[in-house]
Structure 1
Amino acid sequence: MKTLNLLLVSAALSFGATATFAANPMVGGAPMYENKNIVENAVNSADHTTLVAAVKAAGLVDTLAGPGPFTVFAPTNAAFEMLPAGTVDTLLKPENKAMLTKVLTAHVLAGDWTAEKIMAEIKKSKNRMANFTTVSGDALSARMKNGALWIYDESGDVAKVTIADVDQSNGVIHVVDHVLVPK
Structure 2
Amino acid sequence: MPSHEPSSVEDDATLVGRALDGDQTAFACLLGRYSDRILLMATRILGDRADAEDVAQEVSVIAWRRLAELTQPAAVRTWLFRVTHRQCLHVLRVRRAHDRIDAVPDVATNNPASDPPRMAESVAAFHALSTALAQLPPPQQRTWLLAEVHGLPHMEIARLSGGTEQAARARLARARVRLAAEMRAWR
1 or 2, which has the higher helix percentage? Answer: 2
TM-score when scaled to structure 1? 0.32
Which structure: larger Rg? Answer: 2
1 or 2, which has the higher strand percentage? Answer: 1
Q: Which has the higher contact order (CA 8 A, sep 6+)?
A: 1
